[in-house]
Amino acid sequence: MIKLRENVPLAPLTTFGVGGAARYYSEVSGAIELAEVFEYAEKNKLPLCILGGGSNILFSDKGFAGLVAHVVGTTVSVVGEQLSASAGVSLLAVVTAAKDAELQGLEKLAGIPGSFGGAIRGNAGAFGVEISQCVVSVKALDRDTGMVREYHQAQCEFHYRSSLFKLHPQLVILSADLKLVPGKKEALARVMEETIAAREAKHPQAAKCAGSFFMNPTVTDTHLLGEFEKDNGIKARDGKLPAGWLIDYVGLRGKKIGGAMVSDRHPNYLVNTGHATALDIVTLASLVKTRVRDELHIKLTEEVQYVGF
Ligand SMILES: Cc1cc2nc3c(=O)[nH]c(=O)nc-3n(C[C@H](O)[C@H](O)[C@H](O)COP(=O)(O)OP(=O)(O)OC[C@H]3O[C@@H](n4cnc5c(N)ncnc54)[C@H](O)[C@@H]3O)c2cc1C
């Protein structure tokens, strides 16, 4: 039996720390509870929002006039080189479990906030590693059919910060199986520590933000690609330029609107400096998109999910 709460503040459940309340809110763990939530929302004609760790989501100031289903869970198990975890487990707990089991493959994802399910859905990645590289299969409950289905890696349509589950939000991830390779615990622990330190050196990770706000766009403008190379001494990876570099290029590093600011350390981080509203953040995001489009003819696409706008 699911427990529903009413008028639950959403800001503390997100890393941005902004947004209003959920009309209804329930924590769900597993297919049965999730199916009950689907049924309740359907019966009461309520829009539904799935929430994981809240590290890639921006709720509007008026909140969400429907039901927020917060996916929680604690199950991580390791058999041989296969690791299985439920969607609600934190990604860091999964990375740590792999290290403790002397399995290699996830350590460069250490420090990415959020849930395991959220990471699979957005194909989270850092330092040249994406979680999809380890995925064997993903179990999801389909809101349209009410069926649980297992999707094998090739069916998951993983791309840069995207997957089948992102393109089809009716599919809610329940769990996933990963295949890793043997490693040494001390070495894995060291890589995790170095990775977390490298992230912190780039930008304070406790900042109120959602990490990179925009996805890195593919750029064909050879002049701009050349400028990037000149500036950084490296070539663009896969023809993609860092959105942060483009934002800096149009002069928006440090730009503030209300309590929202383009980080002066990492211009693809839009940060709540303390008292930002969701409106401040979307207005700033909109200014960034407009400037990059008008000056560079490049369309930036949000990685962050807007809810309730
Ligand atoms: C400081 C900081 C640094 C970051 N660095 C990185 C980085 O290096 N690389 C990177 O890839 N990301 C990074 N991020 C972004 C974020 O951590 C990831 O996108 C993360 O994987 C989101 O997971 P989540 O559980 O927090 O998702 P949420 O924010 O809760 O949700 C995001 C979206 O996923 C959906 N969703 C959540 N759970 C499920 C589920 N079980 N089934 C289906 N849909 C679901 C939600 O409906 C929503 O649309 C960073 C964020 C912060 C705050």
pLDDT tens-digit readout, 205-216: 999 999 999 999
pLDDT in tens, 134-188: 999 999 999 999 999 999 999 999 999 999 999 999 999 999 999 999 999 999 9
CATH class of 204-307: alpha beta
Whether the CB of 198 sits within 6 Å of ligand 1: no
Is 303 among the catalytic positions? yes
What's the one-letter identity of residue 201? A
Q: What is the pTM of this model?
A: 0.96
**Best probe residue, ligand 1, of 13, 14, 55, 109 (max atoms within 8 Å of C-beta):** 55
pLDDT band at 28 (very low <50, low <70, confident <90, very high): very high
For the chain, what are the domain ranges? 5-71, 76-189, 204-307
3-state SS of 200-221 is: HHHCCCCCCCCCECECCCECCC
Whether the CB of 244 sits within 6 Å of ligand 1: no
Whether the CB of 211 sits within 6 Å of ligand 1: yes
- The predicted model gives 28-44 an average pLDDT of 96
- The predicted model gives 111-122 an average pLDDT of 98
CATH fold label, 5-71: 3.30.43
**pLDDT at res. 288:** 98
Element (H, E) at 198: helix 185-202
Residue 2 has pLDDT above 90, yes or no: no
pLDDT band at 1 (very low <50, low <70, confident <90, very high): confident
**pLDDT at res. 266:** 95
Is 291 among the catalytic positions? no
Whether the CB of 209 sits within 6 Å of ligand 1: yes
**pLDDT at res. 226:** 93
> What does the CA dihedral 109, 111, 114, 115 come to, rounded to 10 degrees?
50
Is the C-alpha dihedral spanning 298, 303, 304, 308 positive or negative?
positive
Helix spans in the chain (H): 31-43, 91-100, 116-121, 164-167, 185-202, 222-232, 243-249, 278-296
**pLDDT at res. 244:** 97
3-state SS of 128-152 is: CEEHHHHEEEEEEEECCCCCEEEEE
What is the average pLDDT value for the chain, to the nearest integer?
A: 97
Please tell me the residue having the least CA distance from ligand 1 atom 2: 211
Reduce the DSSP state of residue 179 to 3 states and report it. strand
What's the one-letter identity of residue 235? K
Residue 74 has pLDDT above 90, yes or no: no
On whether the 76-189 domain is CATH 3.30.465.10, my answer is yes
Alpha-carbon distance values, 112 to 36, 75, 90, 226, 307 (Å): 30, 19, 10, 31, 21
Please tell me the residue having the least CA distance from ligand 1 atom 34: 118
- The predicted model gives 116-121 an average pLDDT of 98
Tokens of 180: 């890793």
Residue 245 has pLDDT above 90, yes or no: yes
Is 5 among the catalytic positions? no
